[in-house]
């Protein structure tokens, strides 16, 4: 990095930004305005599925921009049906609502759950949510989020949430015992912001069975772990279950803002005209990005690539960090990997950027790698070679670590 960039005087100060301004990219690499290159192991936070400037996506988007960017949901948008049919095929569910971001997809899911309750005569519906969950930053989704830092300063929170720990089916039974107002259970298959924490396969099956037994909606937030990242289209598919409601966003448009709520038969007909909507949702540009992203993923076998290169990356990390005194755990699946240390390591982001590697640290002490799904084994080796020495250098001492 050259001289630090002055903070933007006019952009609202919502991010502690690195002093880097990026100008262009290609594949898994990006360049800053000074011509320095970086290997991108963050992918815009699990967004850039196809990396940067993928030639086929660029061509499709250029073609679309020259035709229509936006119309309105007052009219049919033909690619909405194309993308919805594809998501239905891949998920085994039945209908899709389109929006533009993850929080909007989750907001729609929460509204579906409440209306599901009201339609059954439940006036004060309640939804089971999880510790360390992250569902977005709108007032409702930050209330569903299990992180006091996200909620601080924004009370009063939305009511109607019951919070439980991950992977403890008895805790759900206990927290909901005798409560006739519960309408849904809502979680991420693998928590992203919360620190790459997975739901166990047996838990996913148990919670599906419990939802069936109680007639609750099973709502699975696949905004970060979905769209091929774990080696299946959706992470819950490793358990062989179907959700009733599945919010998507991040990777679906490979960088173009897009969100979607995919619903199964139990939730597909809850919304009627007038119940929900959004101006930008489902616009022709976003739909083209979604259709093209999924097409290229299939064409290039990116699910298999995510599984294979993810396993290779994980093996490299285990090899190089096995003797690290501050290592708590290396976990995740496919190209969604978390390395948890016993010490806070937020400054690693800066050290890595100086060495030409983009990563993130979440939940204070979890190094998160969510690179584009086109990552090669050679690039995975490069991530390991850049990252691991910096961890050893700066964060290997439990007592002396300076975060
Ligand atoms: C990022 C994220 C969201 C919020 O998405 P936005 O597009 O930032 O609103 C919601 N849920 C999960 C699991 C996420 O990772």
pLDDT, tens digit, for every residue of 60-79?
999 999 999 999 999 999 99
User: What is the per-residue pLDDT for 182?
Assistant: 98
Task: Work out which ligand 1 atom sits closest to the CA atom of 225.
Answer: 13
Dump pLDDT digits (tens) for 316-361.
999 999 999 999 999 999 999 999 999 999 999 999 999 999 999 9
Residue of 97, 98, 116, 134 marked catalytic: 134
Last residue of a domain, one of 239, 272, 300: 300
User: What is the per-residue pLDDT for 4?
Assistant: 52
229 lines ligand 1 (CB under 6 A): no
Residues 40 and 100 occupy one common structural domain? no
Residues 98 and 152 occupy one common structural domain? yes
Residues 295 and 314 occupy one common structural domain? no
Tokens of 244: 């009733």
Bridge partner residues of 32 (DSSP):
22
Q: What is the CATH number of the domain that holds 310?
A: 3.90.1150.10
101 lines ligand 1 (CB under 6 A): yes
Residues 40 and 79 occupy one common structural domain? no
Residues 360, 349 contacting (CB under 8 angstroms): yes
Flag whether 7 is in a domain: no
Residue 3: pLDDT above 60? no
Give the pLDDT band (50/70/90) at residue 7: confident
Residue 19: pLDDT above 70? yes
221 lines ligand 1 (CB under 6 A): yes
Task: Work out which ligand 1 atom sits closest to the CA atom of 249.
Answer: 7
Flag whether 63 is in a domain: no
Q: How far apart are CA 238 and CA 243, in angstroms?
A: 12
Active site residue 266: no
Residues 235, 229 contacting (CB under 8 angstroms): yes
Last residue of a domain, one of 300, 331, 355: 300
Biggest CA-to-CA distance, the chain? 62
Give the pLDDT band (50/70/90) at residue 222: very high
Dump pLDDT digits (tens) for 132-149.
999 999 999 999 999 999
Q: Residue 335 belongs to what domain range?
A: 22-54+301-400
Give the pLDDT band (50/70/90) at residue 218: very high
Q: How far apart are CA 218 and CA 220, in angstroms?
A: 6
Residues 28 and 96 occupy one common structural domain? no
Helix (H, G, I), strand (E, B) or coil at 349: helix
Active site residue 234: no
Flag whether 15 is in a domain: no
Q: Which of these, 51, 24, 42, lies nearest to 358 by C-alpha position?
A: 42
Ligand 1 mean position, distance from CA 105 (Å): 9
Residues 256, 284 contacting (CB under 8 angstroms): no
Task: Report the residue count for the chain.
Answer: 403
pLDDT > 70 in the chain, percent: 97
CA atoms within 13 A on the CB side of 324: 27
**87 φ/ψ angles, rounded to the nearest 5 degrees:** -65, -35
Active site residue 134: yes
Residues 266, 217 contacting (CB under 8 angstroms): yes
Give the pLDDT band (50/70/90) at residue 8: confident
The domain total for the chain is 2
Ligand 1 mean position, distance from CA 394 (Å): 30
Residues 43 and 172 occupy one common structural domain? no
Give the pLDDT band (50/70/90) at residue 100: very high
Residues 379 and 290 occupy one common structural domain? no
User: What is the per-residue pLDDT for 9?
Assistant: 87
Ligand 1 mean position, distance from CA 224 (Å): 7
Mean residue pLDDT of the chain comes to: 96
Q: How far apart are CA 247 and CA 132, in angstroms?
A: 18
């Amino acid at each position: 990095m050259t001289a630090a960039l002055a903070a933007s005087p006019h952009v609202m100060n919502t991010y502690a930004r690195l002093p880097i301004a990026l100008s262009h990219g290609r594949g898994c690499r990006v360049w800053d305005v000074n011509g320095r290159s970086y290997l991108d192991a963050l992918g815009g936070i699990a967004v850039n599925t196809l990396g940067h400037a993928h030639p086929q996506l660029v061509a499709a988007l250029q073609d679309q921009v020259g035709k229509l960017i936006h119309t309105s949901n007052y009219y049919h948008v033909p690619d909405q049906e194309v993308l919805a049919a594809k998501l239905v095929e891949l998920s085994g569910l039945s209908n899709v609502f389109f929006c533009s971001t993850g929080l909007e997809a989750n907001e729609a899911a929460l509204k579906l759950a409440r209306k599901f309750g009201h339609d059954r005569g439940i006036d004060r519906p309640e939804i089971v949510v999880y510790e360390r969950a992250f569902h977005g930053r709108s007032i409702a989704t930050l209330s569903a989020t299990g992180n006091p830092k996200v909620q601080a300063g924004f009370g009063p929170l939305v009511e109607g949430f019951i919070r439980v720990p991950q992977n403890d089916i008895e805790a759900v039974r206990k927290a909901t015992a005798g409560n006739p107002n519960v309408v849904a259970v809502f979680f991420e298959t693998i928590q992203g912001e919360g620190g790459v924490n997975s739901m166990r396969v047996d838990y996913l099956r148990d919670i599906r069975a419990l939802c069936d037994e109680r007639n609750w909606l099973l709502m699975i937030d696949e905004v970060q772990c979905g769209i091929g990242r774990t080696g299946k289209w959706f992470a819950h598919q490793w358990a062989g279950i179907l959700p009733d409601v599945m919010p998507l966003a991040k990777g679906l448009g490979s960088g173009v803002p897009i969100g979607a709520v995919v619903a199964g038969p139990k939730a597909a007909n809850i919304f009627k005209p007038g119940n929900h909507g959004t101006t930008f949702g489902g616009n022709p540009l976003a739909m083209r990005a979604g259709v093209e992203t999924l097409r290229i993923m299939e064409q290039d076998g990116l699910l298999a690539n995510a599984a294979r290169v993810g396993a290779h990356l994980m093996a490299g990390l285990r090899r190089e960090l096995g003797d690290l005194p501050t290592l708590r755990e290396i976990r995740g699946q496919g190209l969604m990997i978390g390395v948890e240390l016993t010490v806070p390591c937020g400054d690693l982001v800066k050290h890595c950027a100086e060495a030409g590697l983009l990563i993130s640290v979440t939940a204070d002490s979890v190094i998160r790698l969510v690179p584009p799904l086109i990552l090669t084994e050679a690039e995975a080796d490069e991530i390991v070679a850049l990252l691991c020495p910096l961890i050893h250098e700066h964060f290997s001492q439990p007592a002396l670590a300076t975060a």
